[in-house]
Amino acid sequence: MAEKALVGNPDFDWSSIGKKQNNYDAAEREKLDALYSNSLSTIADLQIIEGVVVAKNNREVVVNINYKSDGVVPLSEFRYNPDLKIGDKIEVFVETAEDANGQLVLSHKKARANKSWDRVNEALNKDEIIKGFVKCRTKGGLIVDVFGIEAFFTGFTN
């Protein structure tokens, strides 16, 4: 059996090994850079963003907010919504875009509380009467749920 001789590519540039090469011309590079930049959103800490549930287990919910990584939210923050499923859109609060481990830290509970405070302040600005749900009675007054926020109510004023 005759052995075949291996023949390399005569156009291969051996001197380029280990050196940085630019395989794109300037126009193509600019176009690819713009496409990449537009595919990722910029995230600032301490803001509320809408995300999509992409995974869920018995302890955590994974949320995609179109950032370089997905965020993980404890399932306990969704106790009010037992029917949460993959594909649902939810609001999350960005605690930090990157913690010490490089992870995106999100909170659904803080997003809901923040939205509730916005509703309370809006009612205050409009001098609007709001209804609350009495959760319990204490020695000095009542604990009242107002838009999901527990508030202390001391009594009526005239």
Within-domain flag for 63:
yes
Q: Are residues 96 and 71 in the same domain?
A: yes
Domain extent for 154: 129-158
Mean pLDDT of 117-133: 92
Mark whether 146 and 99 lie in a shared domain. Answer: no
> Would the pLDDT of 158 be above 60?
no
What is the overall mean pLDDT for the chain?
A: 85
Q: How far apart are the first and last CA of the chain?
A: 108
How far is it, in rounded angstroms, from Cα 118 to Cα 132?
A: 16
Same domain? 121 vs 154: no
Asked if the structure places residue 136 within a domain, the reply is yes
Residues 111 and 89 in one domain: yes
Neighbouring C-beta atoms of residue 92, cutoff 10 Å: 25
Number of domains in the chain: 2
79 close to 61: Cβ distance less than 8 angstroms: no
**Domain of residue 94, CATH code:** 2.40.50.140
Residues 65 and 114 in one domain: yes
Residues 141 and 87 reside in one and the same domain? no
Residue 133 within any structural domain of the chain: yes
Mind giving me the DSSP string for 91-103?
A: EEEEEESS-TTS-
Global confidence as pTM: 0.64
Runs of H (alpha helix) within 48-127? 108-125
Mean pLDDT of 96-107: 84
Does any domain span residue 29?
no
Q: What was the pLDDT predicted at 90?
A: 94
- In this structure, is residue 117 part of a structural domain? yes
- Percentage of the chain surpassing pLDDT 70? 91
In a domain, 118, yes or no: yes
pLDDT tens sequence across 21-78: 667 777 888 888 787 777 666 777 788 999 999 999 999 999 999 887 889 999 999 9
**Do 54 and 119 have their domain in common?**
yes
At 83, the pLDDT band (50, 70, 90 cuts) reads very high
- Indicate whether 21 belongs to any domain: no
Residue 140 and residue 94 in one domain: no
| Contact present, 117 and 62 (Cβ < 8 Å) | no
> Which two tokens mark 54?
């992409």
Instruction: Establish if 71 belongs to a structural domain.
Output: yes
Which range, of 9-18, 34-43, 100-109, averages the lowest pLDDT?
Answer: 34-43
The verdict on 117 and 40 lying in the same domain is yes
Residue 156 has what pLDDT?
61
